[in-house]
Structure 1
Amino acid sequence: MISHYQSNLENFLHWANNTPNKLYLRQPVGNQYIDYSYSAAATEVKKVAQFIQKNSKNGSKNVGILSKNSAHWMMADLAIAAAGGISVPFYATLTKDQLHQVLVHSECQILIVGKLDHWDKIKEGIPATTLLIHTPESSEKTGIQWADILANTEEIQQLPKPKPSDVATIVYTSGTTGMPKGVMITYGGIEAGINMAREIALLDLPNARFISYLPLCHIAERNFVEFAATAAGGTIHFVENLDTFAKNLASARPTHFLAVPRIWAKFQEGILQKIGSQKKLNLLLSIPVVKTFVQKKIQKGLGLDEAKLTVTGAAPISEELLTWFQKLGIFIQEAYGMTENMGLNAVMPRDQIKLGAVGRIHPDCETRIDSETQEIQMRAPYNTTGYFKEPKLTEELFTEDGWLRTGDQGKLTADRFISITGRVKDNFKTAKGHYVAPAPIENRLNTHEFIEQVCVVGVNLPQPIVLVVLTALAKSKEIAEVQEAFQALLNEVNPMLKNYEHLKKVVIVQEDWTIENECLTPTMKIKRPSIEKKYQANFELWYTNEASIIHE
């Protein structure tokens, strides 16, 4: 056990020295695994670090990682730290132009390339001056290969001793509102965050197991999986691909599991498909002798029968979905935060889950609500120092007295539970002059079994309208049944809203919103500006249409 956590690299080296043979990384390949003990990973980390240090030029410390999650992603990040560099991870789903934009902005002279689906399409976006290192999962077999570095390089001897104020990593935001911003996170910030979360995150649990499948360049996965597992001396399992997700999860049986709301909704869908109907599940759970058996069977089927911490974050989750899983004995804890505060603003206590709130404020985190805008503002020792090369944006991020502006609107109770009521910038003004907060309305609609994705819009319209993407279930139904269901939904939801928030129309759009068509961020959040721009030309036409439910 480590008495006080230090940097991610130091925590890793502690376990490499004290539990050298313990399994650190498990990479599935087909029906087999490539396993890395802490000491085996340390050997690779130190050799790649030596290569990075020798090939860094002009004083540049920024080294990029472009890969899906894998054991080599983790080792690359540690190697960059061991070389005295600053790691800059990029989303594996970026287009050629997006990659070029962030690579140039970040000033990365070295880029570690790993497991990707579309290398041939994006490699032209990499500046010719960038030195590329290819891990064994990279489809590119020319140029500098990780395996060759291991064969021809000695281990680095002199490890860096960074100051707490030194930047450890630059994390680019997923860009919900435009150009991604490079959030600078310091060594001191990571250390403060991981120590603060020690008890909440159950980091002293023996034989802690984590599974990594959400993008590692997102702060939630980086914190919850890489930093937490490494501090705990745990084992990190990976997912080979989307098709093997269920198998890999069942094999890992993690003690710690993080999923975005959309994944929890997919789990629910899969469980109901197997059982047959909600009515049948309700019946099974109503019989005392059967209930425990059914709960355990479902938990084991998911691979969550040994999970001690199940967390959701990155997007709103409905109270109905949380309650549904509680009936299965799965108590999902919401976490609330943003890249700029390392995702550490609040977490829901396991033994005190309050529906309607997103968690209780962390111990080392001061939080207040601005009286004028209702914006949540916070101060903590792990807050970012600002945006890389963006002094104006950095200045706008903080209030005059040094509190970080989250951009979220919320309410805070006396016992430090916080709830989100909207986004300051998402709110739009209708033609009648009223401001509408779309997020709470979307949360109400999102629970419907026919709605896969939803976006409430209405700039300069008399009343808001809602755009929806149908679930697979809805797509299998007759149009008349879907229209009837949505009319019933409007009749149910509108009376709960203020008059100026009443939804005038439901518009069923034909094209799913994806990362590829730039309607979703890499973390599966809707990109509101992109969606509005895509459909804006039709808003007035839809609004004046006589029908309440419209097919695009």
Structure 2
Amino acid sequence: MDTTNRLPLDLVYQREATQGDSLYMTQPLGDGKVAEYTWGRAVDEARRVASYLKSLNLPEKSRIGLISKNCAQWIMTDWAIWMAGHISVPLYPTLNADTVNYILNHAECDVLFVGKLDDWDMMKPGVPESVRCISYPLSPPNDFETWDDIVASFPPLEGKTQRDPDELATIVYTSGSTGRPKGVMLSFRNMAFSAAGGTQVLNLGPKERMLSYLPLAHVFERTFVELGSLYAGFELYFAESLDTFVQDLQRARPTLFLSVPRLWVKFQHGVLQKVPKQKLERLMRMPVVNKLIKKKILKGLGLNKVKLAGSGSAPLSNDVLDWYRALGLELLEGYGMSENFAYSHMNRPGRSRTGYVGEALPGVDVKIAENGEVLVKSPATMMGYYKDEEKTRETFTEDGYLKTGDKGEIDELGRLKLTGRIKEIFKTSKGKYIAPAPIENRLMSHDAIEMVCVSGANQTQPHALVVLGEEIRPKAADENFRKELEASFKDLIQEVNKSVDPHEQLAFITVVSDEWSVENSFLTPTLKLKRNVVEDAYQEKVDNWYAKRQPVIWQ
């Protein structure tokens, strides 16, 4: 099926007509039970919810919110909102009440779909009383109108709703590492260009299977999973919970698996807890057992059927990439932003280069500014920021390129390497500038480290804050284990310091005992570090750490 220049709703109706009886989504319900949705059932339920939305007589192009973990209803709701002539506003399922309130008020949402959530009681106070709420089958207890009642009570909306390609389709509020989230306005054309281009480059077809578990409120998952499945026609499976993740993976047996760096690192740490790194490397060098070991590890991770694995949202350390590639899983990094619907650069199978995020995708024009900033332009580039013309103007060059905020360089084959964030670069007391990201990537090669933040503005040399892996933390209470770990961190500092310029050499590593999580605002909902929050949390202790003159400090 040719999906070029087809808008998302065109594809919804096309799948309904041509694949109505084919299985589309498998939704876990708990206790090992699942609900299965054919394309026909999914579109029918979306049409019925669209009828309900039409019955509310909302103003044309009203903003309608949806807050839920990933589930079948999330995707059907997006379609229903578009069928009814409105604009979808996804909210991350981990936001606090204050941010929920800000987004619903800023977008002037009239209606909110409330789905599968872990902490609805914490979020609920942020929902204005004027907002009409509808609950999904897996929602926390509430007294809202329910999805199932609406589907049972309303007839399907007839015909095929036509939306203009340049009409606003969705407002994606960026998780943002600083300040209030910005509302990225994306048109149907933006979304269509990104989805059609991404599925064609990856050569995806109806025989693929994917597990949907990264937040659908984020463009990475929405482009390659929600719209990817629509444009390629493949099957989707949903994860029930973190506890059942391995079973969910094994049910889905995905052929395409996308994740973020933190989860790739966690998977690796889980394997290395069972088989120490040195032992695994030794086994991998033995031709007789090499294939068996690789197969066993990938099967244990639920990734043995994966033909294409991707990582995005933040940089992944070279060591982790090489580790997966040694297992026979060519882990491909990609690069994109909310502002271009995750459509910018991607490594191609057989053409990837470790440390690079790949080549520009078809239709993407890229150049490097004089200050080293990566500038991109394509039909996937946003319409602008909602209700913020000034910020929109600041984000574009005079000739229409999007300022990414990332520094980068391009190799002779057109592959892009990101060398740091323009705003993250800090200056030492010696007046030297430091980009933290490349140093952080080198530190992440240590298999006991789960997260790291390199800092040191106005100090003589930079330092690193590290969080130990979940499995390592309890062991660090043992004195002998801690001594071994400390010795390995001293070696790590020496190794890193040999590979960087003198002004970038680390003064020390501080091992912090705190947890950095989405819940305490140290991480964004897509598990990126909120650098300013991390630095502020330890600011008062920094001078004292430098005064100690020790290579490893335990906090």
**What's the TM-score once normalised by structure 2's chain length?**
0.96
Map of 2:126 onto structure 1: 125
- The Cα shift of 1:414 comes to 2.9
Counterpart Cα distance in 2 of 1:494 and 1:191: 46
Deviations 1:9-59 (A, max 9, x none): 221221111111111110112212100100011111001011112225344
Secondary structure of 1:243's partner? coil
Going from structure 1 to structure 2, the CA distance change for 1:284 and 1:486 (only over 3 Å counts) comes to: closer
Name the SS of the counterpart of 1:291 in structure 2. Answer: helix
- Residue 446 of structure 1 aligns with an amino acid whose one-letter code is M
Q: Distance in 1 between matches of 2:418 and 2:58?
A: 46
1:358-507, aligned counterparts within 5 Å? Answer: 358-371=357-370, 373-475=371-473, 476-477=475-476, 478=479, 479-507=482-510
Once the two structures are superposed, residues 414-454 of structure 1 have per-residue CA deviations (whole angstroms, 9 ceiling, x without a partner) of 32100000100001111111111111111111111221111
Q: 1:522 deviation in Å?
A: 0.5
Give the distance between the partners of 1:95 and 1:317, measured in 2 at CA.
Answer: 28
* 2:241 counterpart residue number: 241
* Counterpart in the other structure of 1:47: 48
Partner SS for 1:107: coil
Q: Does 1:221 align with 2:224?
A: no
Show the counterpart of 2:276: 277
Secondary structure of the 2:321 match is helix
Alignment partners' CA distance in 2, 1:438 and 1:257 = 29
Partners of 2:310 and 2:180 in 1: CA distance: 29
Structure 1 residues 279 and 549: CA distance shift in structure 2, 3 A = closer
**Which residue, out of 520, 526, 535, partners 2:538?**
535
Superposition map of 1:313-324 within 5 A: 313-324=312-323
Q: Determine helix, strand or coil for the equivalent of 1:507.
A: strand
Q: State the alpha-carbon separation in 2 of the partners of residues 131 and 529 from structure 1.
A: 36
Letter in 2 for 1:257: F
* 1:332 equivalent in alignment to 2:331: yes
CA distance in 1, matches of 2:340, 2:380: 6
Question: Are the counterparts in 1 of residues 7 and 165 from structure 2 also a CA contact under 8 Å?
Answer: no
Q: Which amino acid aligns with 2:382?
A: T
Shift of 1:482: 2.5
The structure 2 residue matched to 1:513, chosen from 516, 519, 525, is: 516
Task: Output the amino acid matched with 1:280.
Answer: K
Distance 1:547 1:98 in 2: 40
The residue identity in structure 1 corresponding to 2:522 is C
SS in 2 for 1:112: strand
The letter of the residue matching 1:27 is Q
**Equivalent AA in structure 1 for residue 113 of structure 2:** I
Kept in 2: contact 1:434–1:500 (CA 8 A):
yes
Distance, in Å, in 2 between the alignment partners of 1:303 and 1:520 is: 27
* TM-score, normalisation: structure 1: 0.97
Shift in Å, 1:240: 0.3
Partner SS for 1:444: helix
Q: Distance in 1 between matches of 2:372 and 2:516?
A: 30
Task: Give yes or no for the alignment of 1:78 onto 2:79.
Answer: yes
Inter-partner Cα distance in structure 2 for 1:550 and 1:512? 17
Distance in 2, matches of 1:539 and 1:521, equals 24
CA RMSD across the alignment: 1.5
Partners of 1:283 and 1:469 in 2: how far apart?
Answer: 28
1:150 deviation in Å?
Answer: 1.2
Where 1:163 maps in the other structure, the secondary structure is coil
Answer yes or no: is the 8 Å Cα contact 2:196–2:231 preserved in 1: no
The CA deviation at 1:284 is 2.9
Tell me by how many angstroms 1:5 deviates: 5.4
Residue pairs, 1:85-100, within 5 angstroms: 85-100=86-101
> Residue type of the partner of 1:520?
L
Contact 1:60 1:109 in 2 (8 A): no
Residue 305 of structure 1 corresponds to which residue in structure 2? 304
SS at match of 2:11: helix
Matched with 1:150 is 151
Are 2:174 and 2:338, in contact at CA under 8 Å, matched by a contact in 1? yes
Structure 1 counterpart SS, 2:102: helix
The 1:279/1:547 distance shift into structure 2, 3 A limit, reads closer
Superposed displacement of residue 61, structure 1: 1.6
Q: Are the equivalent residues in 2 in contact too, given 1:5–1:194 (CA < 8 A)?
A: no
- CA deviations 1:319-375 (Å, max 9, x no partner) are 11111111211111111111111111110011112112111111210100012x100
1:118 positional shift:
1.2
TM-aligned CA deviation for residue 247 of structure 1: 0.7
CA contact (8 A) 1:237 1:252 kept: yes
Which amino acid counterpart does residue 544 of structure 1 have in structure 2?
A: A
Task: Answer yes or no: is 1:22 the counterpart of 2:28.
Answer: no
SS at match of 2:416: strand
Name structure 2 gaps, 5 residues minimum: none
**Distance verdict in 2 for CA 1:3–1:457, change over 3 Å:** closer
Q: What is the CA–CA distance in structure 2 between the aligned matches of 1:293 and 1:542, rounded to whole Å?
A: 47
Structure-2 separation of matches of 1:346 and 1:390: 27
How many pairs are equivalent?
549
Q: Provide Cα deviations, 1:278-314, integer angstroms capped at 9, x if missing partner.
A: 2332333223333223322322222222222111011
Q: Partner letter of residue 548 of structure 1?
A: P
2:547 paired residue among 544, 547, 550: 544
1:63 matched residue in structure 2: 64
Alignment CA distance shift 1:299-1:551 (3 Å): closer
More divergent stretch after superposition (233-242 vs 52-61): 52-61
How far residue 178 of structure 1 moved from its aligned partner, in angstroms, is: 1.9
* Pair 239,473 (structure 1): closer, same or farther in 2 beyond 3 Å: closer
Deviations 1:509-531 (A, max 9, x none): 12110111110000111001111
* Distance in 2 separating the partners of 1:306 and 1:466: 38
Runs of 4+ residues over 6 Å off in structure 1: none
- Aligned-pair identity (%): 40
Cα distance in 1 for residues equivalent to 2:156 and 2:505: 65
Q: Name the CA distance, whole Å, in 1 between partners of 2:429 and 2:89.
A: 43
Counterpart amino acid of 2:492? L
The answer on whether the counterparts of 1:20 and 1:39 sit within 8 Å (CA) in structure 2 is yes
Distance in 2 between residues matched to 1:420 and 1:207, nearest whole Å: 34
| Equivalent position SS for 1:533 | helix
Conserved 8 A contact 1:5-1:231: no
Q: Deviations over 1:69-103 (max 9, x none)?
A: 01111111111111111111000001111111111
Structure 1 pair 442–109 and aligned structure 2 pair: CA distance change class (3 A): same
Q: Is the 8 A contact 1:366 1:379 kept in 2?
A: yes
3-state SS of paired residue (1:64): strand
Deviation, 1:233, is 1.1
| Letter matched to residue 315 of structure 2 | P
Spell out, residue by residue over 1:221-252, the C-alpha distance to the aligned partner (whole angstroms, 9 max, x if none): 00110000111111110000000001100110
Unaligned runs of at least 5 residues, structure 1 = none
Distance 1:259 1:167, change over 3 A: same
